[in-house]
A and B are shown apart, each in its own frame.
Chain A
Amino acid sequence: TQLLEQSPQFLSIQEGENLTVYCNSSSVFSSLQWYRQEPGEGPVLLVTVVTGGEVKKLKRLTFQFGDARKDSSLHITAAQTGDTGLYLCAGAQYGGGADGLTFGKGTHLIIQP
Chain B
Amino acid sequence: EAGVVQSPRYKIIEKKQPVAFWCNPISGHNTLYWYLQNLGQGPELLIRYENEEAVDDSQLPKDRFSAERLKGVDSTLKIQPAELGDSAVYLCASSYTSWGSKSSYEQYFGPGTRLTVT
Contact = CB atoms under 8 A, between A and B. Distances in A.
Pairing of A with B? yes
B106 to A, nearest CB: 5
Nearest to B58: A100
B45 A100 contact: yes
B4 A42 contact: yes
Q: Is the interface of A mostly helix, strand, loop or mixed?
A: loop
Interface stretch (A13-21, A55-63, A74-82, A88-96): A88-96
Contact of B42 (A41, A90, A100): A90
A41 B112 contact: yes
A43 to B, nearest CB: 5
Contacts of B56: 99-100
A110 to B, nearest CB: 14
Q: Is the interface of B mostly helix, strand, loop or mixed?
A: strand
A30 to B, nearest CB: 9
Interface residues of B, number: 29
A95 B41 CA distance: 25
Given A99-B48, A106-B42, A42 B102 contact: no
A42 B97 contact: no
Nearest to A47: B106
Interface of A: 4, 33, 35, 40-45, 48, 88, 90, 92, 94-106, 108
Interface of B: 4, 31, 33, 40-45, 48, 50, 56, 91, 93, 95, 97, 101-112, 114
5 contacts: A41-B111, A48-B106, A96-B106, A98-B103, A101-B45
